Amino acid sequence: MNPCQRRLLPLLVSALALIGCALRACHAGAAESDPQIRLDADYPGGNILVERMDGDKIHIRQDLRDTSTWWFWWNFRVRGAAGRTLTFQFAGENPIGVLGPALSRDDGGSWSWLGAESAQGALFRYAFAPQESSVRFAFAVPYQQSDFDAFVAAHQERVTRGQLQISRLCQSRKGRPVPLIHVAEPQGEPSFRVLVTARHHACESMASFVLEGLLRAFLVDTESADWLRRHVELIAVPFVDCDGVADGDQGKNRTPRDHNRDYAGTSIYPETAAIRAMASAWVDGKLTVALDLHCPWIRGPHNDVIYMVGSSLESVASEQKMFAEILERVRTGPLVYRAADNLPFGQAWNTATNFSQGMSFARWAGELEAVKLSTTFEIPYAAAGGTPVTPENARAFGQDLAAALRVYLLRSRKPGQVHLIRQTGPCEMRAICATVFCDTSSSGVRRSRRRW
């Protein structure tokens, strides 16, 4: 092909694409203007609308579906572009996060951030290596049912021992089984109950890695995990908006209301109705913590740090304060958490107006008898306190949450509710004892025990 033909061809395919778009609604599917390049979202979590292709520039937009406001989740695959440099231009507001797109060169097996320098406003560029036949790009690292299945498979031994059970919470509107996780020592005497939910908003994928880390803290082979399994019964719903996660929906601000505004009156989603029915009976008077894991807005103040959303219930807000202090002090993972970053009720977006469509999970759980602490965590998609958020360090934050839970539960217990740490060797919790409760000059295990 000579240079002249090379210039004319894109114009021709562009014109054809425009005619094509005029004749039918543009939708997710192949970018038909260049037969070599195939751009699609035909896999779990996929989301893209292809508008047209102008040479090496592809015009796309995220699919909002039933979202009532602008939102920013997208996740697509490009094939047939090996050796080419393409520009992906989004229509409308900029839906690219602070570290650019997340990128996978192995069909979603592993992901990395492409980097802020790859993006310019609402477009990003990518130079496909000569051997790259298929590359996925997404707003953030996706987390799908297959990731959850892999997590469970990696802990098969705990399943065999009955310490980890996966059952079905309910059936989704589209007929999918909605998984329910149960973690406890079958022979244990749980004094505490912890209820964890994630993906009330389908696109908030980073929250799922935090949930994995939290679960892992219960399933590893350590004294701390052993204690958690013996004293805490944990139930988790990993995909509250199960259909939305599978279909690649935004999930946030659905019409007429989204899953996290579905806890007042009669629930319109089977998952939220099932959580309400299950949890109300399950807490059964035992000290319960309810954690709801989310990701915030795309960028800006309150969106680039991990924080808790302050409860409008005074008693819960004071428990949040205590938990925040503990978490800040026990955290060892790379993602920083500062209690000062929490967003008290009445400030910024956290006002009654934000909940006019209905009650959130955290507010609903906070009103259950026996629930002392009910809180929403917001985990940024891309950068937290200047540190890039990755699956691994999001999992580490989940482990930090578990460490904080242990301290919080012990501190909140009623007299005689739980035995002290039973051990004969050196106290594994000494670092935490020293940090949170003990005089740092304390050197003896006995003294640490007494302080518990």
The contact set with Zn ion (CB under 5 A) reads 201, 204, 294
**Least Å from the CB of residue 376 to Zn ion:** 8
Q: Fill in the DSSP letter of residue 343.
A: B
**Least Å from the CB of residue 235 to Zn ion:** 20
Decide whether 34 or 204 has the Cβ nearer to Zn ion. Answer: 204
Decide whether 204 or 212 has the Cβ nearer to Zn ion. Answer: 204
Decide whether 77 or 201 has the Cβ nearer to Zn ion. Answer: 201
Nearby residues of 234 by Cβ (< 8 Å), 6 or more positions away: 181, 182, 183, 184, 193, 194, 195, 196, 215, 218, 228
Tokens of 352: 């009654």
Cβ count within 10 A of residue 415? 5
**Least Å from the CB of residue 341 to Zn ion:** 17
- Cβ(336)–Cβ(384) below 8 Å: yes
Return the SS3 of 204: coil
Tokens of 345: 């009720």
- 316 burial class (0-12, 13-18, 19+ CB within 10 angstroms)? buried
Q: Which among 113, 111, 50 has a CA at the least distance from the CA of 76?
A: 50
Q: Which among 218, 195, 248, 287 has a CA at the least distance from the CA of 43?
A: 248
**Least Å from the CB of residue 343 to Zn ion:** 13
**Least Å from the CB of residue 90 to Zn ion:** 22
Decide whether 204 or 233 has the Cβ nearer to Zn ion. Answer: 204
Residue in this structure with the two tokens 């956290």, named with its chain if needed:
350
Residue in this structure with the two tokens 């997208």, named with its chain if needed:
74
Decide whether 46 or 251 has the Cβ nearer to Zn ion. Answer: 251
Nearby residues of 222 by Cβ (< 8 Å), 6 or more positions away: 428
**Least Å from the CB of residue 294 to Zn ion:** 3
- Cβ(373)–Cβ(319) below 8 Å: yes
**Least Å from the CB of residue 292 to Zn ion:** 8
End-to-end CA distance of the chain: 78
Q: What are phi and psi of 229, to 5 degrees?
A: -65, -35
Q: H helices of 142-193, where? A: 145-154, 156-160
**Least Å from the CB of residue 161 to Zn ion:** 34
**Least Å from the CB of residue 269 to Zn ion:** 15
**Least Å from the CB of residue 201 to Zn ion:** 4
Decide whether 59 or 252 has the Cβ nearer to Zn ion. Answer: 252
**Least Å from the CB of residue 138 to Zn ion:** 17
Decide whether 204 or 247 has the Cβ nearer to Zn ion. Answer: 204
Decide whether 61 or 294 has the Cβ nearer to Zn ion. Answer: 294
CA distance 202 to 239: 8
Decide whether 204 or 341 has the Cβ nearer to Zn ion. Answer: 204
Decide whether 298 or 418 has the Cβ nearer to Zn ion. Answer: 298
User: DSSP letters of 279-337?
Assistant: HHHHHTTSEEEEEEEE---SSSTTTSSBEEEPPSSHHHHHHHHHHHHHHHHH--SSS-B
Residue 27 half-sphere exposure toward CB, CA atoms < 13 A: 5
Decide whether 136 or 201 has the Cβ nearer to Zn ion. Answer: 201
- Cβ(108)–Cβ(136) below 8 Å: yes
